[in-house]
Amino acid sequence: MSRYTVVYKSILALVIVFVLFAFTGKLTSTPEKSTAKKEIVTVLKSNLDSKIEMVYNALQAKQFELPNEECFDDAMKGFYSLQEKGIVKSNILTLIDFSLSSNVKRLWIIDLSNNVVLFQSLVAHGRNTGDEYATNFSNTPESFKSSLGFYVTGEVYNGKHGVSLKLDGLDKGLNDNARNRAVVLHGADYVSESFIKNHRRLGRSQGCPAVPVKSVSEIITMIKGQSCLFIYHPSIDNSKRNKSIS
């Protein structure tokens, strides 16, 4: 055997050993890297949950009640995501909890810069969404049902209901037909304590989050300018919603 053949075989053996080592190293390190990524995600989620809990505990309700914590938690997770992407431009969060009776004030406006509840109000759901309680939701035109999920506030205009606020749905398949359906925030006579007294429930809209006529101008002034509005119900599909806004 020549000297060159020996050298060639030696080099070839070293290359094979190196390749096998590198390949084996990748295989053995993969679970560790996967575990590390999972731990990082867990820490980030934990930090976000802790941040939201701190904000909730620091909220100053003043003369108003606080929203349900689970509802607030869902709203804040979406809000932070939308704010990070520049979709919402304001630190005002409007939260509507459709798990509650329409006979109670289930709309909150929260100033997240100062952790203060600015306003609480009655708000109507769609006529085909339910009677006193909201139970059925849709993104379909002419359904006369409310749509859940995240919205960003659009233009202020004067329409058949007087001063109104356009809304853009941000959840694909859940509320992204809002503008085409003319789902807007407006005032309505059937959203009042007197209507509840006479009919044992609040009046219903054609799918819009309607508010009291006496409060609509004040509400719109607070939440206009690309702020976040979130309509909550326990039936909402969190996995689909979170994918659509993330």
* pLDDT above 70: residue 4: no
What would the mean pLDDT of 43-71 be, rounded to a whole number? Answer: 91
Residue 194 binned pLDDT confidence (cut-offs 50, 70, 90): very high
What would the mean pLDDT of 97-118 be, rounded to a whole number? Answer: 98
**Model pLDDT, residue 24:** 47
**Model pLDDT, residue 209:** 98
**Model pLDDT, residue 100:** 98
153 to 73, 220, 228: CA distances (angstroms): 20, 9, 7
**Model pLDDT, residue 19:** 46
On whether the pTM is more than 0.85, the answer is no
**Model pLDDT, residue 243:** 52
Contacts of 153 (CB under 8 A, 6+ apart): 94, 165, 166, 167, 185, 223, 224, 225, 226, 227, 228, 229
Please provide the average confidence, as pLDDT, over all residues in the chain: 87
State pLDDT tens for residues 200-245.
Answer: 999 999 999 999 999 999 999 999 999 999 999 999 876 555 555 6
State pLDDT tens for residues 145-181.
Answer: 999 999 999 999 999 999 999 999 999 999 999 999 9
- Alpha helices (H) in the chain, listed in sequence order: 3-58, 69-84, 193-199, 213-223, 238-245
State pLDDT tens for residues 113-155.
Answer: 999 999 999 999 999 999 999 999 999 999 999 999 999 999 9
* Rounded CA separation 37/53 (Å): 24
**Model pLDDT, residue 238:** 63
State pLDDT tens for residues 5-32.
Answer: 444 455 555 545 454 444 444 444 456 6
Residue 44 binned pLDDT confidence (cut-offs 50, 70, 90): low
What would the mean pLDDT of 65-94 be, rounded to a whole number? Answer: 97
- With 0-12 CB in 10 A as exposed, 13-18 as middle and 19+ as buried, what is 144? middle
